[in-house]
Amino acid sequence: MTNPSKGPDWEQLRSRFPVLQKKTYLNSCSYGALAVDVEASLQRYLDARNDKGADWDYWVGRNEAVRNSVARLLGAEADEVAVTTSVSAGINSLASALNFDGPRNKVVITDFEFPTNAQIWYAQESRGARVVRLTEEDGKIPLEKFAQAIDEETLIVATAQVAFRHGAKQDIPAIAEIAKRKGALTMVDSYQALGTMQFDVKKAGVDFAVGGMLKYLLGTAGIAFFYARQELIESLVPTATGWFAQEDINAMDITRYSPAANARRFEAGTPPVPNTYMAEAGLAILHEIGLEAIERRIGELTTAIKDAATEAGYQLASPVNSSHHGAMITLRSNDDNRLVASLAEDNIVVSCRNGNLRISPHFYNNQADIEFLFRALHKRRDLLV
C-alpha cells in the first residue's frame, strides 16, 4: 500500500509476494515474483470457468482492461496499444506491414538486442531488408554510431532500452531524435525497462514500443504489448493477422480482410484469456505504487549492489553510473552457470548471460536480500572475476 504522506510501505508490499518468504529472489529480469493478487486473479478465471463455462464478453473486457492499463503506463492512448501473445508477435506484425522494396530498406539494430528483435529483422532480408548491426564498445553503443549508421536509406531503428546481457541502458530519446532527423522510424524494446522506471513514449519520441508482462510488469508469460504512434497506424497494414485484428471481431467475415482502424490491427487470434487476468492484476500493483516511487526504490537497491560489489573487489559488467543502467546489475564470472546453480543451493534465485551474473531487484526486495546474496557470493569468490 501507499500512504501519500509517507510513501509506499515497502515491507507490506513485500508481504504480497510469497516466494520471498523462502527464497532470496533477485531474478526479475527473467521472471517477476508472483504476487498474491496475481495468483488470485488466475483463480477467479478458473472459478468462472467452473461456474459459467464461457463468458466471452467479460473475457474480451479483460483484454481491453490490459490495453488501457498499458496505455496508462506508457503515456499513450488505448487506441495506440495492441495486446499480443509475445513481443515476437508484435514485431512480426509490424515487420509484415513494412515495405522493403523502396529506397529505404535499411534496419539498424545493435549488439544489445534480445535474439527476437535481431532474428525477426534478419528474417526480413528475404523481403529486401538490409540489416546493419551496431557493435558494442566497452559495454555501450555510442550515439555517434547511430548518427553514422542512420541515413536516408534507413527505414527503422529497432533497439533495446536496456540490454538483457548486462543491464546497460540506452538514451532512447536521443536515438529517436537522430532517426527522426533522417526520416527513419524508431522501435524500442522496453522489456527490461518498463515497470522499473518512468517511460513516456510521447516524450521519448518513439514510433513503436514493445514489452511483455512476465518480468517487471508482474504478470505472466504469454502476453505482451505493442505500441504504435497513432499517426502511423492507418498507413501500416499487417499481413500477419487474425480475427482479433479485424475491425469487427464479431463479424466472422470470411470474404475479406478488414483491419481495425486502431492498433488492434497488430493483434492476431484469440487472446490468452487466463493471462489477461494475471497481466491486469500485475499492472494494477504498479499503478498502485507509481513508477516514480518504484524507480527511486530500485535506484537505492542497485546502488547498494554496486557498492557491495566494489567493496568486495568484484568486477561490474554493468555501467557504474546509475543513469546508464537499468534495474539489472551484472558481475563478471568465470563460470556463470555454475555460480547460479551454486547460489540456488542457498535458496538464492538469480540468472546469467554471457559470463555475467544477473542480479535484478524489484521494489519488493530489500537490503537484507542484498546482504544475504553477498555473504553467499563471498563464499564463492573463486567463481567471480
Q: Quick one: pLDDT at residue 285?
A: 98
Q: Give pLDDT tens digits for 244-256.
A: 999 999 999 999 9
Q: Quick one: pLDDT at residue 53?
A: 96
Q: Quick one: pLDDT at residue 34?
A: 98
Task: Report how far residue 278's alpha carbon sits from residue 281's, in angstroms, rounded to the nearest whole number.
Answer: 5
Assess contact for 90 and 266: CB atoms under 8 A: yes
Q: Give pLDDT tens digits for 228-246.
A: 999 999 999 999 999 999 9
Q: Quick one: pLDDT at residue 5?
A: 60
Place of cell 530489500: 366
Average pLDDT (90-106) is 97
**Residue 4 above 90 pLDDT?**
no
Sign of CA dihedral 171, 174, 178, 179: positive
Residue 290 φ/ψ region, left for φ over 0, alpha for ψ in the -120 to 50 degree band, beta for the rest: left
Average pLDDT (91-107) is 97
Q: Give pLDDT tens digits for 179-227.
A: 999 999 999 999 999 999 999 999 999 999 999 999 999 999 999 999 9
Q: Give pLDDT tens digits for 288-345.
A: 999 999 999 999 999 999 999 999 999 999 999 999 999 999 999 999 999 999 999 9
Cα 148 to Cα 113, 139, 143, 220, distances in angstroms: 19, 19, 9, 39
Q: Quick one: pLDDT at residue 106?
A: 98
The domains located in the chain, with CATH, are 2-35+290-383 (3.90.1150.10), 41-286 (3.40.640.10)
Q: Quick one: pLDDT at residue 6?
A: 76
**CB-facing half-sphere around the CA of 130: CA atoms within 13 A:** 12
**Nearest by Cα to 164 from 299, 318, 33:** 318
**Nearest by Cα to 186 from 126, 116, 107:** 107
Roughly how many angstroms between the first and final C-alpha of the chain, as a whole number? 40
